Structure 1
Amino acid sequence: MLEELKEKHFNPKAHILTLLGDELIKSPVMAIYELVKNSYDADSKKVDVYFKEIENIENAVIIIEDDGIGMTSQIIEDVWLEPGSDFRKPINKNTGLRQIIKSALYDRIPMGEKGVGRFAVHKLSSQILLITRPLLIYFKENSKEIESKILADYEIQLYIDWKDFNQSKHLSDVPIKWKIKKDKKDFRFKEKSGTYIRLSGLKEIWTKGMARDLKGQTLSMLSPKITKDSFKINLNFDNKWLVDFPTVDKILDEAPFKINALISSNYDVDFEYEFVLKNNPDIGKRIIKNDLRFNENIRGKVKNRLRKVLEKKEHENYKIEEILLDFDSKLLPFGSLAVELYTFDLDSHSMRDYTLNADLVKKVLKEHSGIKVFKNDLRIYDYGNSANDWLGLDLERIQSKMWFSSNNVIGYIYLDAETSNCLIEKTNREGFVENDAYLSFYMVLKTVLNEFAATRFSDRTRWLKFNQKSSSNLFDTKISNFKSLLENSDLNNEEKKKKLLEEAERLEEKYEDDQKTLLIPAGVGMTASVALHEIEKLIPRMEETVKSEPIKNDIITNQVEELKQYTEGIISVLRKGGDKPLDIREASNRAFNNYKLKLLNRKISYEICIEDNVNTINCDKRFYITMLMNIIDNSIYWLDTIYKNEKSIFLKCVKHEMSTIVIIADNGPGFKDDISELVRPFFSRKSDGIGIGMYLIDTIMMKYGKLDIITSKEEILDFDIPEKYNGAIVKLVFNKKQ
C-alpha cells in the first residue's frame, strides 16, 4: 500500500482555557471590561463592580452583578460553555459576514462577538462562582414583537476552579457542573432576573494606581452620548482610593478649540468649529457653522490619500487607476460617523485665558487624553489609551507645528454598530483588524483631523500674537527698526552714528545673500525631487520598450524626449543664476513640463497665455521655476480632490501699468483662507503639506514685487481670466528690479 489515510479530531488540553483568558486578555482592566460588556449584551440597565477587602489578597474578592435577562440552563450549556460561540452574531453562510441579532428588550447591538470574553475571569482569579436567574422571553409567531416575559422559577449556580484545567488533562476530561435551584428562599435574585459573578483567589494584588486606572477606563467605557439611565457602571473599591477622581465633563466646556463633524456614508461633511477663550474675550472668537467652504464632500480628499497609499505600495499606474475608479463608485463601508474633539494648550500663559483651574485641566488630561472610538454605547479598545497614539498625532506634531499632540486632546469617534460590522475588533482588544474598511475609516479621520488642525492653527497663531508671545522675529524688520532708531537718536558723534548705520547696512546685505543661499537649495530640492520621482517611474518603462521585439521606435523616441525634459528641468535650477532677463514663455513651459506625466495621469490640462508685449522679466530663473512649480503642485493636489469632467490650470502673463503680472488659476475648490494665512510658515491644508511652499514664494517675491491671491469678481474680469477658472487664483506681481 503506497499511501495511508488517517483521521483524528483536535483534542485540546484543558490548559487552552487558561490561555484564552490569562494570556489573550492583556490586562485586569480589560478583563473587567469584557464582563461589563457581557452585562450590556444581556440587556442590563446597570452593572455593579465591587472590590471587597481588596488590600488583603487572601480574602479579596471581586463581584460583578447586573440586572439583565440572565442565562437559562440551555444557554449555560450551549453558549457559555462553548468557546468561540457565535450566539451573539452568527455568521451568514452565504456572505461570510456576521449577522446582527439585536437584544430582546432594548434593541441593543451586541458588542461581544468572538465568544471568548467570558474567559476574562481567568485573568482576574482562579475561582468563579456564577449565579443567574433568567427572564424567559416569548415572541409572537413570525415576529420580533414580545408576547410575554416570565421570570423563571429557578436559579442556576455554577462554580469553577481554574486550577482543575491544568496541562496534564484534556478539556473533555474536566466536567463542569451546575445546580438548578428551585427553592426561592435560597435565591439571590428573588424578584428579578440577573447574573452575579464572584471572583476569588485573585491573581494580582490591586493597588491604588490600578484602581484609579480602572476608574478612568470605566468612565470611558460608555459613550458620552449614551442616553441617561440606559446603562450604568457602578464601581466601588470599599475604600478611599477613588476620592477626588477627576472627570472629563469638568473641563470640556473650557476647551479653547472644539469641533463637531458628521461624515455621511457618501463622504459629505457637516463641519462645526469653535474657538473661544472664556477669560480673554478681547482676542475674539470664531465659530464656523453652516459654512459651505467647510461643509463639503471629502471623497476626493480621501481618494488622494488612497492614491498615495497605493503609490507607496508601488502598484502599476493602470492598477492604481482601476482601484481608484472602483473607489469612486462606493459608499463608506462602515456607514456614517461623527467626530467630537476638544484641544487644549498647556503653557501657563495660555491656560490663564481659558480656565481658572489649570491644575484640574492637567489632571483630567493626564487621565483622559486621547481619541476614543465608540460603537453605539460602548467603547472599542484600545483606541484612546495613553500608550496608543493610533492616529499619529505626536508624529504629526513633530513634523509640523500646525498639529496638536495626543496628550492635549480629548476626542470621541462615534460609529453605528449596525452599519459598521465591517470594522472587526481584534480578539486581543487592540483595535480593529486592519482590513480595507479600516483603511477607509483611518483615511476619513485623518482628512477631518487635518482640516481641524489647519483651522485651529490659524486661531492659535492669532492668539499667541495677541499675547505678544510671538513678537516679530523677522531679521529685516529688526534691522529696519534698528536703523530707524539710530536715525532718530541723539548721538552727538555723527561719525560714530554713520559707522553704525553702515554696519547695519552690511548686516542687511549679508542677510539677503544668506537668504538667497538658502532659497536656492529649496528650489533645487523641489525641482529635483519632482523630476527624479518621474524618472524613477520612466526608467522601467524604457527598459520594457527596449526589451520588446520588435522595438517600437516611436515609443522609445518619446520616452527619451521625456527623460531629456526631466533632466533639463534639474539642470535649469542647478546652473548658476542671477537676476537677468528671463524668457518667461520658456521658463513657464519648463515648469509645466516637469509635471507632464503627473498632469497626464490625473487628466489635468493646462494653457499658457502670454501677451505679445511681454517677453521677459528680470528674475533669477531658479527662483521663477521654483515658485511656479510650487503653485502648479498645489493646483494638481487640489484638482485631484474634486470630481469634474474637465480639470485645468491656466497661466497668463500681462503688463499692467509699470508691472509684469503672472497669474496662475485653476478650476479646483479654491482657497478657504486669506493671503496672510496662506503665507504663514507651516500652515497647510494639504494632507502631506509642510506649509513651506507659499511661504517660500512670498519670501522670494518680496525681492521682486508681491505675492497675492485674486478673490474679487471685478479683478477676475479686469484681468480677463476665463470664467471656468473659478478656483484658486495666484498673482505674482513683478515691479522691483525690472
Structure 2
Amino acid sequence: MSERLRFSPSILARLGEELVPQADQGIMELVKNAYDADALRCTVKLERTSVEGGAIRVVDDGSGMTEADLVEGFLVVGRSRKAATAPTRRLGRIQVGDKGLGRLSAMRLGRKVVVLTRPFEEPGIELRLELNWDKFDEAIAVEEVELSLVRSPTTKGHGTEIHIENLRAPFPRGTADKLARNLLLLSDPFREIHADSGGSSDPGFTAELEANEFEDLQSKVETSYFRDADFRIRGTLNDHGEGQFSLLDWKGEVLYSSNATRTYEAPKLEFDLWHFVLDAGRFSNKSSTLPEVRAWLKHIGGVHVYQDGIRVPAYGGPGNDWLDLNLLRVRSPELRPGTNTSIGRVGVSNTAGALVQKTDRVGYLESEAFHELRRFCIDTLDWAAKVRVSERESGRRAERDDKSKRTAKASASLDKVLAKTVPDTQRKVVDNAIERVLRANEQETKVLREELQLYRSLATAGMTSAVFAHEIGRPLELLDTNLGMILKMIPEDRRKDADRRVGRITRQKERLNSFISIPLKLLAKSKRRRGRVDIDPCVRGLVDLIAPVLGHFNVEMEVSLNASTSAVSGSEALIEGVLLNLVTNSINAFQRRSTDVETRRIRISTAYDGDVLIMVEDNAGGIKDFDVSEIFLPGVTSQPDGTGFGLTIVRDSVSDLSGKIDVDPLTEFGGAKFTIKLFPMRALFE
C-alpha cells in the first residue's frame, strides 16, 4: 500500500495570511506580478470594500498566462516559473516576484476568486479559473478540491484579471490609504527625473487605484515639487563599487563633486535626495507654496528604494528612517535633511541577486551587500554635509572680512565728518564720548562671545549624548536575544537559578535603556517649536520620563499640579530643560556626604495666581556653600566634577520665556526651593 503526503487547507492561511499579513502588501504582490508580465498598466478597483461582501479587482494589460503557466505555476503553491535574473519575454524587465506565495495573501481576502487571463501567445482566447475558498476550508486535504479550467473565445486584448469577491471583512480606510500610497509610489514617481533609459525598449509601468474616496490622496501624491527643492544630493556607484558624490543647486547644476575614497561591495546604484528648507521666506519666488510642499512631503517624503524600477517597501514609508536622517540631523540641524524636509530615491540594479527580499516582501535581508548600500548612502549625506559646512564657514569668513573693511571705512568717514563739522575746541569731548560708546559695545560683545562659547559647549555635549544614546541602544536590543539563547543551553535542573540571575541583568538593561532614551526624547524637534505650552501636561510628561532615574537614586517625587488649563508662550524644550536641571541639582545635593535624610523627596508643584507658577523644592539640606546671588553664575558648583552650567541655563531659559526665577535657600520642606513665574499666554497680548 502506498501513500502520499497531503496538506490541510489551513496551510493556505499560514502561507498567505501569516507570511504576508498586511492586506495591502498582498495586493501589491498581484500588481508586481502584472509588472513581471510586461504590463504597461495595472488598475486596482475597490468596490464596496468598506463593508463585508465587497470586491477587489486587479486588472492588467500584460502577457497573460498560458494553460501551462496556470497549471504548473499559478496553481502550485510556493512555486514560481519565473527565473529571478532572467529578463521578461517582451520588454526585458528584471522580475520582482519569485516566491509564488504573495498572491495567496490577497486572494484569501475574499471567499471566492475568479482568474481571467488572455495569453499573448494565443490571441482571441480567454482562460477562466475559479477558486471557492469555502470548499477548501470544508475539505480535509487541499488535493480533494477539484478545479476546472475553462477556455472560451474573446475579443479582449491580452492581460489578466483577478477578481477577489465576497470579502470576508471590510477593507479599513487606513489599509486603503496605504495601498493607494504604495500604488502611486510603486512605479517610481522620480522616473521623469531619471528619463535616461539608456536605449531601453520598456515604455514604463503605471499602477493606479480606482476608488472615489481616495481621489484626494491621489491628487496630492501625483503632484511634483522636485524643482522647488533648495538643493539636491547625489551619489552614484558603478559596477566596480566605485562611488562619486555631487551637490547640485535647485536648477540641477553641479556645485561640488568628489570621488569616494573607498570602494563598496554593493550593487550598482543611484542615490538622489532633494532637500527643502521649509521657511516661508524661501517660497516667495517659487511656483509652489509652503503648505503645498509640506503636504506633499508628508505623503511621499523619505528615502525610497527602487529595485530595477519597482519600489521595495517599506523603505521611506511612514516611520521608516532607514538611513537615520533624523539622528544625523541632530548633529547639524540647519544643514542636514530630515524625513519631513526631504524626499529621496535609491535606484539599484539587482541583476546579480546580491540583494534578497525578506519572505514577507517587506525590505531586504540585512546582508553585507545591503549594509554596504546603506553605508554608501550615509557616506553621501556625510560628504554633502561637510561640503555645506565648509561653504558656510567660507561665507562667514568672507562676511567677517567684509564687515571689518566696512568698519574701517566707516571710521575713516566719521573722522572726515567730525573734522569738518566739530570745532577743534570740542573735538576731544566728542572723541571721548565716542570712545566710551565703543568700549561699552566691546564689553557687550565680549559677554556675548563668552555666552556663545558656553552654549556651543553645551550643544556639543547634548548632541554627543544623543548620538551615543542612539548607538548604545542597538547592542542593548541584542541582549534579550542572546540571554534567551544562553538560557536554552543551561540544564533544566539549574534553570531556576539561572532565571533569577538573568532577571537581574534584564532589569539593569531595562533601566539603562530608560536612561539613554531621555536625551533622545528631550531633543525631539517637535519639542523645540515655539507656541502654546500647557504647563501641567508638560510637567507631568517630564516627571514620567525621568521616573527611572529617580528610582535609581531612591528619590520620591511628589507632584501637585494646580495650574489647570494655564498655558504660556514658549517651547516644551525650554520648560523641560529648566525642570530637568533643577531636579538634577536636587539629586546631586542628595549625593553629597553631608546630606543624610531618611527619605529623599523632591516636590514639583504648579499654581496660578494671575501668573503661572512652577515650584521645585527638595529636602536635601538647602543651599549652604554659596551666596544665593552667585548660584546662577557660570562655573559655580558644589560638585567636584560639576560643570556649573545647570543653573545658568535655568536662568537664561526662564529669561527666554519672559519670566522670573526666585530661590529660597532653605524652607520648612528641608531644602532649597526655586519658584518660576511665567506670564500666562493671554497676558502677553493685553
TM class by smaller structure: 0.5 to 0.7
Q: Give the counterpart letter for 1:299 in structure 2.
A: R
The answer as to 2:231 corresponding to 1:260 is: no
Tell me, yes or no, if the aligned pair for 1:131 and 1:155 is still in contact at 8 Å. yes
Q: Give the counterpart letter for 2:104 in structure 1.
A: F
State the TM-score, normalized to the length of structure 1: 0.51
Tell me, yes or no, if the aligned pair for 1:260 and 1:273 is still in contact at 8 Å. yes
Out of 339, 348, 369, the position equivalent to 1:415 is 348
- Aligned CA distance change for structure 1 residues 179 and 288 (closer, same or farther; 3 Å): closer
CA positional deviation for 1:112 = 0.6
Q: Deviations over 1:459-489 (max 9, x none)?
A: 6789999999xxx9xxxxxxxxxxxxxxx99
Out of 198, 204, 228, the position equivalent to 2:163 is 198
- Aligned CA distance change for structure 1 residues 513 and 370 (closer, same or farther; 3 Å): closer
Instruction: Give 3-state SS (helix, strand or coil) of 1:127's partner.
Output: strand
CA positional deviation for 1:338 = 0.8
The answer as to 2:15 corresponding to 1:20 is: yes
Higher fraction of helix? 2
Bigger RCO (CA 8 Å, 6+ sep): 1
The answer as to 2:147 corresponding to 1:177 is: yes
Q: Which residue of 2 aligns with 1:237?
A: 211
State how far apart, in whole Å, the 1-side matches of 2:375 and 2:41 are: 36
Q: Which residue of 2 aligns with 1:389?
A: 321
The answer as to 2:357 corresponding to 1:425 is: yes
Tell me, yes or no, if the aligned pair for 1:257 and 1:273 is still in contact at 8 Å. yes
Q: Give the counterpart letter for 1:82 in structure 2.
A: V
Q: Give the counterpart letter for 1:196 in structure 2.
A: E
The answer as to 2:258 corresponding to 1:347 is: no
- Residues 83-232 of structure 1: pairs in structure 2 closer than 5 A: 83-89=77-83, 100-122=85-107, 124-136=109-121, 150-151=122-123, 154-166=125-137, 169-182=139-152, 184=153, 187=154, 190-206=155-171, 210-223=175-188, 224-225=190-191, 229-232=203-206
Q: Which residue of 2 aligns with 1:69?
A: 63
State how far apart, in whole Å, the 1-side matches of 2:285 and 2:394 are: 13
Instruction: Give 3-state SS (helix, strand or coil) of 2:32's partner.
Output: helix
Q: Which residue of 2 aligns with 1:288?
A: 254
The answer as to 2:43 corresponding to 1:35 is: no
- Residues 311-322 of structure 1: pairs in structure 2 closer than 5 A: none
State how far apart, in whole Å, the 1-side matches of 2:456 and 2:231 are: 39
State how far apart, in whole Å, the 2-side matches of 1:69 and 1:517 are: 63
Instruction: Give 3-state SS (helix, strand or coil) of 1:298's partner.
Output: strand
Instruction: Give 3-state SS (helix, strand or coil) of 2:259's partner.
Output: coil
Q: Deviations over 1:41-82 (max 9, x none)?
A: 112222122222344543x21111112222222222211121
Aligned residues with identical type, % of pairs: 23
Q: Mind listing any 5+ residue stretches in structure 1 that lack a counterpart? A: 1-6, 90-98, 137-149, 279-285, 303-331, 473-487, 530-738
Structure 1 window deviating more from structure 2 (17-26 vs 347-356): it is 347-356
Q: Give the counterpart letter for 1:34 in structure 2.
A: E
Q: Deviations over 1:541-567 (max 9, x none)?
A: xxxxxxxxxxxxxxxxxxxxxxxxxxx
State how far apart, in whole Å, the 1-side matches of 2:93 and 2:162 are: 22
CA positional deviation for 1:203 = 3.9
Out of 221, 246, 250, the position equivalent to 1:247 is 221
CA positional deviation for 1:505 = 8.8
The answer as to 2:291 corresponding to 1:359 is: yes
Out of 234, 238, 261, the position equivalent to 1:298 is 261
- Residues 438-477 of structure 1: pairs in structure 2 closer than 5 A: 438-457=370-389
CA positional deviation for 1:362 = 0.6
CA positional deviation for 1:287 = 4.4
- Aligned CA distance change for structure 1 residues 181 and 20 (closer, same or farther; 3 Å): same
Aligned residues between the structures = 425
The answer as to 2:23 corresponding to 1:52 is: no
Tell me, yes or no, if the aligned pair for 1:248 and 1:368 is still in contact at 8 Å. no
State the TM-score, normalized to the length of structure 2: 0.54
Instruction: Give 3-state SS (helix, strand or coil) of 2:44's partner.
Output: strand
Instruction: Give 3-state SS (helix, strand or coil) of 1:217's partner.
Output: helix
RMSD: 4.4
State how far apart, in whole Å, the 2-side matches of 1:22 and 1:106 are: 32
Q: Mind listing any 5+ residue stretches in structure 2 that lack a counterpart? A: 404-426, 469-686
Tell me, yes or no, if the aligned pair for 1:269 and 1:296 is still in contact at 8 Å. yes
Tell me, yes or no, if the aligned pair for 1:23 and 1:123 is still in contact at 8 Å. no
Q: Deviations over 1:306-354 (max 9, x none)?
A: xxxxxxxxxxxxxxxxxxxxxxxxxx352x2111210112233444465
State how far apart, in whole Å, the 2-side matches of 1:117 and 1:460 are: 50
Tell me, yes or no, if the aligned pair for 2:184 and 2:208 is still in contact at 8 Å. no
Instruction: Give 3-state SS (helix, strand or coil) of 1:404's partner.
Output: coil
Q: Give the counterpart letter for 1:257 in structure 2.
A: F
Q: Which residue of 1 aligns with 2:623?
A: none
State how far apart, in whole Å, the 2-side matches of 1:363 and 1:509 are: 39
Q: Give the counterpart letter for 2:351 in structure 1.
A: E
Tell me, yes or no, if the aligned pair for 2:180 and 2:217 is still in contact at 8 Å. no
Q: Deviations over 1:651-673 (max 9, x none)?
A: xxxxxxxxxxxxxxxxxxxxxxx
CA positional deviation for 1:439 = 1.8
- Residues 227-626 of structure 1: pairs in structure 2 closer than 5 A: 229-238=203-212, 241-242=215-216, 245-247=219-221, 249-276=223-250, 287-288=253-254, 294-299=257-262, 332-334=265-267, 336-352=268-284, 354=286, 356-401=288-333, 402-419=335-352, 421-457=353-389, 504=443, 511=450
State how far apart, in whole Å, the 2-side matches of 1:456 and 1:83 are: 53
State how far apart, in whole Å, the 1-side matches of 2:128 and 2:287 are: 53
Q: Which residue of 2 aligns with 1:728?
A: none
CA positional deviation for 1:102 = 1.7
Q: Give the counterpart letter for 1:233 in structure 2.
A: A
Tell me, yes or no, if the aligned pair for 2:113 and 2:131 is still in contact at 8 Å. yes
- Aligned CA distance change for structure 1 residues 180 and 404 (closer, same or farther; 3 Å): same
CA positional deviation for 1:407 = 1.9
Q: Deviations over 1:276-297 (max 9, x none)?
A: 4x9xxxxxxx9436x6xx3314
Tell me, yes or no, if the aligned pair for 2:271 and 2:344 is still in contact at 8 Å. yes
Instruction: Give 3-state SS (helix, strand or coil) of 2:274's partner.
Output: strand
State how far apart, in whole Å, the 2-side matches of 1:517 and 1:425 are: 44
- Aligned CA distance change for structure 1 residues 507 and 442 (closer, same or farther; 3 Å): closer
State how far apart, in whole Å, the 1-side matches of 2:441 and 2:266 are: 68
- Aligned CA distance change for structure 1 residues 63 and 449 (closer, same or farther; 3 Å): same
State how far apart, in whole Å, the 2-side matches of 1:209 and 1:23 are: 20
CA positional deviation for 1:11 = 4.2
State how far apart, in whole Å, the 2-side matches of 1:204 and 1:465 are: 65
CA positional deviation for 1:18 = 1.2
Tell me, yes or no, if the aligned pair for 2:180 and 2:214 is still in contact at 8 Å. no
Tell me, yes or no, if the aligned pair for 1:31 and 1:124 is still in contact at 8 Å. no
